[in-house]
Amino acid sequence: MCCIVLKLYYLCGMNTEKNISQMRKGVLELCILAIISRSGDVYATDILDRLKEAELIVVEGTLYPLLTRLKNDGLLSYRWEESKSGPPRKYYQITSEGDALFAELTTGWNELVTAVDQLIKKEL
């Protein structure tokens, strides 16, 4: 009984929404690399749309600094393309270094999911 009370106290005191948000932020880089890797040239708005479709809601203020960091790390490149309506658009592509990191992160993600699933199933 004591363990149940402590667990309930712990769960009620936690900010579950904040924890879930932190988990999503932790996989955001992997998700962005996946989108760009599979799409070829992709516009930032398209990345945002794909993340929203996957219910990984991200705002521009989160995405653009991450894209800049990935580009500065040599994982992405970009090109400018004239737009029929408005200013030129920046289209992102994954580099060979980005592809290599994407493969490593995908392997790590799959291992993590397997390990967590095993723990969760054992606990139930």
Residue 49 is assigned to a structural domain of this protein: yes
Residue 4 is assigned to a structural domain of this protein: no
Q: Provide DSSP, 70-110.
A: HHHTTSEEEEEE--SSSS-EEEEEE-HHHHHHHHHHHHHHH
**Residue 124: pLDDT above 70?**
no
**Residue 21: pLDDT above 90?**
no
Residue 34 is assigned to a structural domain of this protein: yes
Residue 5 is assigned to a structural domain of this protein: no
Residue 2 is assigned to a structural domain of this protein: no
Residue 8 pLDDT: 42
Residue 13 is assigned to a structural domain of this protein: no
| CA angle in degrees (0–180, nearest 5) for 7-22-25 | 155
- Please write the tens of the pLDDT for every residue from 35-86: 999 998 999 999 999 999 998 878 888 899 999 999 999 999 999 999 888 8
Residues 100-123, mean pLDDT to the nearest whole number = 92
For residue 33, give both structure tokens. Answer: 């690399």
**Residue 15: pLDDT above 80?**
no
Per-residue burial over 35-62, b if 16 or more Cβ lie within 10 Å, else e, is: bbbebeebbbeebbebbeeeeeebeeee
Q: What's the pTM? A: 0.80
What percentage of the chain reaches a pLDDT higher than 70?
87
Task: Please choose, from the candidates 35, 27, 31, 33, the residue with its C-alpha nearest in 3D space to the C-alpha of residue 99.
Answer: 33
Domain boundaries, position 84: 19-123
Residue 14 is assigned to a structural domain of this protein: no
| CATH code, 85 | 1.10.10.10
* Domains contained in the chain, number: 1
pLDDT bucket at 6, cuts 50 / 70 / 90: very low
Q: Provide DSSP, 36-57.
A: HHHHSSEEHHHHHHHHHHTT--
